[in-house]
Amino acid sequence: MNSSDPAVRFSVLIQRFFMDYLIEQRNVSPRTVASYRDTFRLLLNFAEKHVGKPPHKLRLADFNVGLILDFLNHLEVMRHNAIRSRNARLAAVRSFAHYAALQEPSALPVLQRVLAIPMKRFDRPMVGFLSREEMQCILAAPDVDSWCGQRDQVMLATLYNTGARVSELTAMRAKDVSLDRGCCVLLHGKGRKERTLPLWNSTAKLIRRWLRQINPDPQQWLFPNRAGGQMTRSGVTDRLKLAVAAASARCPQLKTRHVSPHVVRHATAMHMLQGGVDLSLIALWLGHESPATTHMYIEADLAMKQRALNAIQPLQYKQRRFRPRSDILAFLDRL
């Protein structure tokens, strides 16, 4: 096939976008590569049905604003993706459009319209978080008489201690934990950013006991699944749901709560804030890009707002009752 064929150039352009641009030049994280890969899998499969061409026959001209808008609508309506997911897919498409515009200037008019597609705005709900009592009930819920229960107990304790994202929790290996002087754990965060967080003595004790139950190899996943492999995001969520269901016997209010690993992360941040920890330190603890992201916890803490209100006493002044003048025209003349 002729390399000057537009379909060939488009296919090669996508491969170069991943291999040369994302991996070689930008050195993005494997998670980013996987996210962009999944976006283009969905897009190319959608384009095959929408344009009527198999992926290897698509041209850059087919990569137009109409196709992308229909694809984004398909994600929300047919696949029931949240707006955040829709925007993440659009970010991947935009990145490719920027790269393609530099490689194929002749396609700039088409790509500029794609780049002009805006991110969709969405409502930001109030942060939901667990009380300390609810969190303690969940941590005590796993059945420690079983291997999975022991893993769940130490896994959830570590999740609450560190406020880690699910991806950071499942990526922990035995080598990432230091249980000598100054117990701590190394988290591999978003964008290849790492951070080290201290461990409570209780958490360190659980991890120390857990490491005796699994393969002590430094490369071993700290919280493996039953087969010894890496736990998935859904696996962690399912185990947390089991713990919440068991904890509901002691905390009936948990029956009406939607508790996800991210809610546990919110609980960590909120409890630190309520304990008097500075907001900038909480941002570093959670691995937030900007401390402004952490302000949502202040918005959610009504008790903190009430304390602030109580610290400001209302001004004392005597109210006077208004008495209208009898001569309204004279009053208006004096204004």
Q: Determine the Cα–Cα distance for residues 306 and 327; give it in Å rounded to an integer.
A: 47
- In the annotation, is 160 catalytic? no
Report residue 158 as tokens.
């570590």
Active-site annotation holds for 265: yes
Q: One of 16, 190, 195, 205 is an active-site residue; which one?
A: 190
Query: And the tokens for 10?
Result: 């488009």
Q: Decide: 210 and 154 in contact? Cβ < 8 Å.
A: yes
Gap between the Cα atoms of 287 and 28, Å rounded: 17
Decide if 21 contacts 99 (C-beta within 8 A).
Answer: yes
Whether 288 is a known active-site residue: answer yes
Number of Cβ within a 10 Å radius of residue 94: 17
Residue 98: active-site member: no
How do the residues of the chain divide into helix, strand and coil, expressed in percent and rounded to 5? 60, 5, 35
- Distant-in-sequence, close-in-space partners of 3: CB < 8 Å, separation ≥ 6: 9, 12
Residue of 89, 188, 239, 265 with catalytic role:
265
| Alpha-carbon torsion (180, 182, 188, 191), positive or negative | negative
165 Cβ neighbours under 8 A, 6+ residues apart? 189, 190, 261, 262, 265, 287
Helix 108-115 to helix 65-77 angle (10° resolution) is 30
- The residue from 89, 151, 165, 239 that is catalytic is 165
- Please give the single-letter amino acid code of residue 30: P
Is 226 known to be catalytic? no
Residues forming the active site: 165, 190, 262, 265, 288, 297
